[in-house]
Structures are given as C-alpha cells and as structure tokens.
Amino acid sequence: MTNYASYLQLPEWRFIDESISARSRSALESFAADDTLCHLVGQGMSVPTVRTWVHNETVVLGIQDHRLPYIGEAMDHLEKAGYPSIVRNSGGLAVVLDQGILNISLVLSEEDASIDISTGYEVMLTFIRLLFPEAGDQIEAYEIVGSYCPGSYDLSIDGKKFAGISQRRLRKGIAVQVYLCVEGSGGKRAELIRDLYEIGLQGEETKFVYPSIRPEVMASLEELLGIPLTVSDVVIRAQTLLKHLSNNVKLESFQDSEMDLYTFYLNRVLERNKKMLK
C-alpha cells in the first residue's frame, strides 16, 4: 500500500503565503505563480513549495463555461452581483473566489521519479486530512453530483462538498491545487454558479452537459465542523503541519532572481485570457 505521507515528509519545504497579499490582484496572477513554481521546482531551481492564496470576489470560468450560448449575459449578471469573471485556460468548470476561500498549491518535482495523476490527488487528500485532524477519515473523496466544478476528487464530509482538487503539470513540476471553502456559506456561493448556468443556457440544448447545481450539497468547513474557523487559522495550520513534516521550512516570497520567469508566465496567461475573451 502506497504511503502518500512520504511525499510530504521532505528534508526541506518552501512556504509562500499570499493569502493576504494576493487578494486585490487578479486571480490570473495566481495561475502564473503556480506555472512559475512548477518550472522552478521541476527544474531543481527551488525546493518543493506550498503556496497559500486568496483573491477577492471573482468567478473563474473554465473553457467550457465560456462556450455557454448566453455567456455574455451570464457574465454581466455576475459582474452586477459583484463577481467579475476571468477564464482559465485549463480543465475544470466555474468556481467562486472570495475572502472565505483558501487555495493551497502543493508543488512537487518529478525530476527524480514520476508522480502519476492519481498519486498527486492522493497526496493532497492526505495533506488535507492531516490539516483537519478533527475530521480525519470523515473527509471522503468522490464526485459530489450537484456541486460546482464536480470531479472524482471532490472532498466532502457527510456528502457535502467543501473542496475540489486539480493539477497543473509543467517542466517536470506538478502543482496540486486544492480549493477550500473555509468560511461563510457554501450554498450561497453555489447559488451564484447556478445562476451562471441558468442564464448562460436559457434552456438551450448543448453538446457539453453542464452541471445542474444543487446548493444544498455544498458547505464550508466552518459549517461542517461546527467550529469558528477562518482562512488565517488554516494558513497557520498549514505552516505548523509543514514544520511537523520537515526539519527545514523556509517562509519566503518570490525572489528577485525568479521575477523574470514569473513575468514570462504572467504574460503568457494574460495573452491566453485575452484570446479567450475575444
């Protein structure tokens, strides 16, 4: 049986906390940051890294979302509700970002040995179970039908989804990203995405089958665990957990020597988004 915790028990980790500093910036910058870290870690220019990140109110659309027949009207509705939207050039469907959602990227290297996709998911599942010992094995991974951005590694407690996992692979680096609904109402966020699909489809048949959103199947960790829990609390938990897993945790942001690479990936992400919006 594979010991997934062994992928986390490393001699050295780097921890980049952008849970406050990234809030007012575009979420596109976070996709560029993870691409940069994949490159740095995959090419041995940085040790494996955990990055925590939060953005103000935004709806991140997937490529299929942008093909909705009435996407313009749907995006206008989101904008009026206080949620401007962007399009990411990767798999997955729409998600909501706000100050109560914490994203954690776990960036590992395949330089010495390959890490298959299912292993990447299981390593993040292990990390989340260690992060919330009060829930532990209650946290299950399977698709929650009726949730937004559904996938086989939706994380749930008692059938209610609080997180989803995705992966980005580049230059022998892997960013396993988890979307954690920490604070507030998971159902309210789901209502916003339900509106996106209702307005975007307006009853039309499409080749791609969009999810039928049921807000009652989504909840925040605060709601599920029944304890006061903030994004800041979870960031501190993540730092503490890494210190248990490794003797050496460096708390640092991007270095000056890494900024040229970051600028390259940011420009690439911005260009792709511009093309998508055309």
CA angle 214, 91, 40 (to 5 degrees): 130
The string of DSSP letters for 56-113 reads SSEEEE-TTGGG-TTHHHHHHHHHHTT--EEE-SSSS--EEE-TTEEEEEEEEE-SSS
What's the pLDDT score for residue 89?
67
Mean pLDDT value of segment 71-76: 95
Coil, strand or helix at 183: coil
Distance, first Cα to last Cα, the chain: 48
- Look at strands 160-170 and 95-97 and give their pairing: unpaired
- Look at strands 58-61 and 140-141 and give their pairing: unpaired
**List of residues 6+ apart from 203 with CB closer than 8 A:** none
How far apart are alpha carbons 198 and 204 in whole angstroms?
10
Indicate which residues carry an active-site annotation: 149
What's the pLDDT score for residue 87?
87
What's the pLDDT score for residue 188?
96
2 has pLDDT over 80: no
Tell me which of 52-61, 74-83, 214-223, 266-275 is least confident.
266-275
> Over the stretch 153-198, which tens digit does the pLDDT of each residue have?
999 999 999 999 999 999 899 999 999 999 999 999 999 999 999 9
Q: pTM for this structure?
A: 0.95
Say which CATH superfamily domain 4-277 falls into.
Bira Bifunctional Protein; Domain 2 (3.30.930.10)
244 has pLDDT over 90: yes
What's the pLDDT score for residue 266?
94
1 has pLDDT over 80: no
93 contacts 147 by C-beta, under 8 angstroms = no
> Over the stretch 35-49, which tens digit does the pLDDT of each residue have?
999 999 999 999 999
